[in-house]
Amino acid sequence: MKLNLTMTEKLIYQAQIYVTLRPSVLDPAGTAVQSGLQHLGYDNVEQVRIGKYIELTVSAASEHEAKEQVDRMCDRLLANTVIENYRFDLLEQQPSINK
């Protein structure tokens, strides 16, 4: 006997999201870190840019659905798209089946 789990099976994805300042936007925090590194003797360091790295898990019926949802989350809340870019990877986790 085979159970039809199509409607209840959900896939879990881990999204790894990178939010970075657009290249044209100044990054005072990055400049401060670069200056701090130079004070520690690392004068071979340049172009320090500081962004956010967000991990979250999302359950969805398909990878396509998860991708669309994470894209909307970034656009609406996680990134300020006026000054920031974002990109993300999705990693499939163990599936959870709600019987």
The site for a second copy (CB under 8 A) is made up of 10, 14, 18-20, 30, 33-34, 36-37, 40, 42, 44-60, 69, 73, 76-78
CB of 4 vs a second copy, minimal distance in Å: 22
Six-digit token string for 57:
């898990």
CA distance 52 to 30: 12
Shorter beta-carbon distance to a second copy: residue 5 or 55: 55
- 88 with 13: CB under 8 angstroms? no
Six-digit token string for 72:
């909307």
Shorter beta-carbon distance to a second copy: residue 5 or 56: 56
CB of 1 vs a second copy, minimal distance in Å: 30
CA distance 31 to 47: 8
Nearest CA among 10, 11, 8, 14 for reference residue 70: 14
Distance of CA 86 to the CA centre of its chain: 7
Shorter beta-carbon distance to a second copy: residue 1 or 26: 26
Shorter beta-carbon distance to a second copy: residue 37 or 90: 37
CB of 59 vs a second copy, minimal distance in Å: 5
